[in-house]
Amino acid sequence: MSAAQPVHAAVMTAVEKTVVETRTIAPLEASEVLVEVRSVGVCGSDVHWYRDGRIGSTVVSAPLILGHEASGVIVKVGEGVPRNRIGSRVALEPGVPCGRCALCRAGRYNLCPDVQFFATPPVDGAFATHVVTHSDFAHDVPDSLDDDEAALIEPLAVAMWAVGKASVTVGDRVLVSGAGPIGLLVLQVARAAGADVSVSDVAGDRLVAAMQAGATDTIDVSADELPPGFTVLIECSGVGAAISTGLAALGPAGRAVLVGMSPDGQTSVPLDVIQSREITLTGTFRYAHQYPDAIALAASGRIDLRRLVTSVHPLSDVHNALMLPGRDPSALKPMVHPQQDENPPA
Ligand SMILES: NC(=O)c1ccc[n+]([C@@H]2O[C@H](COP(=O)([O-])OP(=O)(O)OC[C@H]3O[C@@H](n4cnc5c(N)ncnc54)[C@H](O)[C@@H]3O)[C@@H](O)[C@H]2O)c1
Ligand SMILES: [Zn+2]
Ligand SMILES: [Zn+2]
C-alpha cells in the first residue's frame, strides 16, 4: 500500500536545539499501523538526551526525534492488520522487541537486546504528527481516558512493573524515595495494592504533591532521618544516598527495587544490611506485559494521571517543553500535542 503521508516532526539537531521538519513516511509493513499522535509526555530521559546529548555511554550523534510516552489514533493499517483498527484510540508501548531471541521467547521482552525503543538513539520517537509502529504495541484505550492519560500509561507501566517486582500487598509498609512523576505513580499503584506508603524527597513541593496523591506520610530527608522498619523500598530518585539510607530503613526480610537510575550507574550499597537482614534487592528496566493492566487500572479511576500534567505545548514549542523541567522544579510532566499546530482551535 502507498503511504506518502507528510509528517511534521520536532527534530533534535544538536544539544538544546530543535527544528520542526517535514518528512515522509515509507509504505507500511504488513504488521504496522500509522498513528496520528495526539499527546506525548516529556520524560526525564528526553530531558537528558536534549540537555546533555547523552545518557551514560550512549550519545545522540545524529538528528533524533525525542518523545516516548505517546497516545494517538490509528489512521492507516498494514495488510496484515484488521481494517477495523482504523479509528482506534491507542496508547503506544514505545519498545518493540525482536520477538525471536531467547529473552523474548521467555516473555522477558523488555530485556531484548534488539528492542527498538522510541527516542533511544538511533530510533526516532513520537514528537511528530504521525508515527509508525507494530500493531501489537498500539494498545486500545477506552474513551474514559483522555489523550494525555493515554500517553501517561507509559510511566504508569514503569510503576506497575516496579510494584509487581516488589510483590507489594496488603499490610506492607512501603517507602518510595523520590516524588517525581515515577515516584508519584509508584505511590498510587502501591496504595491500590493495599499498602501504607511513605514518600521521601528533598523538595518540599514534591512532598506536597505526594500527600495530595495519597501518601500515608512524607519524610523530608534534607531535614529528617528515615524511620526504621519498612517492608519494601521502591527507590525512584537514582540518588546514591537515597539508595543506601533506604536499604538501611528496611526491616528483616525486606524487599528493595531500584527504579531510579544513578547518573554514572555506580553507587555503594550497605552489604552488611543486605546480608544480616536477608534483603532481596533487584532493579527494573522498563517493563513487560504491563500495558493492558495499566490501561485497566487507570480506567478504574484508582490512579490519577491528570494530576501529573503541568503544561501543554504545540510541536513548535518542544524546545520549551524539554527545557521546563530543568528550569522549574514544579514542572512534573509537560505534554506535547502535535496536532495543535496543524489544527489551531477556531
Ligand atoms: N527503571 C526504569 O525502567 C526507569 C524508567 C523511567 C524512569 N526511571 C528513572 O526513575 C527516576 C525517577 O524518574 P522521574 O521522572 O520521577 O525523575 P525526577 O527527577 O522528576 O524525580 C526524582 C525525585 O527524587 C528527588 N530526590 C533527590 N534526592 C533525593 C533523596 N536523597 N531522597 C529522596 N528523593 C530525592 C528529587 O527531588 C525528585 O523529586 C529517574 O532516575 C529515572 O531515570 C527508570
Ligand atoms: Zn519515560
Ligand atoms: Zn528479542
Q: Which CATH number do you get for residue 176? A: 3.40.50.720
131 and 91 share one domain: yes
144 and 10 share one domain: yes
Q: Is residue 30 part of a domain?
A: yes
Which grid cell sits at 172? 506492607
Hey, is 324 helix, strand or coil?
helix
148 and 200 share one domain: no
CB-proximal residues (5 Å) to ion ligand 2: 43
112 and 142 share one domain: yes
80 and 11 share one domain: yes
**Of 23, 18, 19, nearest in space to 8 by CA:** 23
Contact 24, 59 (CB under 8 A): no
Question: What pLDDT is recorded for position 329?
Answer: 83
Q: What single DSSP character describes residue 129?
A: S
Q: Is residue 224 part of a domain?
A: yes
**Enclosing domain of residue 310:** 6-152+305-337
Question: What pLDDT is recorded for position 342?
Answer: 52
Question: Separation of 115 CA from ligand 3 center, angstroms?
Answer: 6
Q: Is residue 297 part of a domain?
A: no
Q: Is residue 56 part of a domain?
A: yes
Ligand nearest to the CA of 286: 1
List the pLDDT tens digit at each of the 346 positions of the chain.
444 678 999 999 999 999 999 999 989 999 999 999 999 999 999 999 999 999 888 899 889 999 999 999 999 999 999 999 999 999 999 999 999 999 999 999 999 999 999 999 999 999 999 999 999 999 999 999 999 999 999 999 999 999 999 999 999 999 999 999 999 999 999 999 999 999 999 999 999 999 999 999 999 999 999 999 999 999 999 999 999 999 999 999 999 999 999 877 788 899 999 999 999 999 999 999 999 999 999 999 999 999 999 999 999 999 999 999 999 988 999 999 999 975 443 4
Q: Is residue 50 part of a domain?
A: yes
98 and 117 share one domain: yes
87 and 125 share one domain: yes
147 and 169 share one domain: no
The residue contributing the CA closest to ligand 1 atom 36 is: 178
Indicate the residue type of 150. Answer: A
21 and 136 share one domain: yes
Give residues with Cβ within 8 angstroms of 13, minimum separation 6: 19, 63
Question: Separation of 109 CA from ligand 3 center, angstroms?
Answer: 6
Q: Is residue 168 part of a domain?
A: yes
Pocket test for ligand 1, best of 261, 282, 309, 324 (most atoms within 8 A of CB): 261
242 and 172 share one domain: yes
HSE value, Cβ hemisphere, 13 Å, CA-based, for 228 = 5
CATH number at residue 76: 3.90.180.10
In angstroms, the Cα distances linking 206 to 92, 173, 184, 210 are: 28, 20, 9, 6
Query: Is residue 248 within a helix (H) or strand (E), and if so which, with residue range?
Result: helix 240-248
Question: What pLDDT is recorded for position 346?
Answer: 40
Question: What pLDDT is recorded for position 266?
Answer: 84
In angstroms, the Cα distances linking 269 to 39, 183, 227, 240, 274 are: 39, 21, 18, 8, 8
229 and 273 share one domain: yes
The residue contributing the CA closest to ligand 1 atom 11 is: 260
Hey, is 159 helix, strand or coil?
helix
Check the CA dihedral 160-161-162-163 and report its sign: positive
Count the domains in the chain.
Answer: 2
Q: Is residue 225 part of a domain?
A: yes
Q: Is residue 143 part of a domain?
A: yes
Question: What pLDDT is recorded for position 57?
Answer: 86
173 and 278 share one domain: yes
Which grid cell sits at 174? 512501603
Residues with C-beta less than 6 Å from any ligand 1 atom: 44, 158, 177-183, 200-203, 206, 221, 236-239, 241-242, 259-261, 284-286
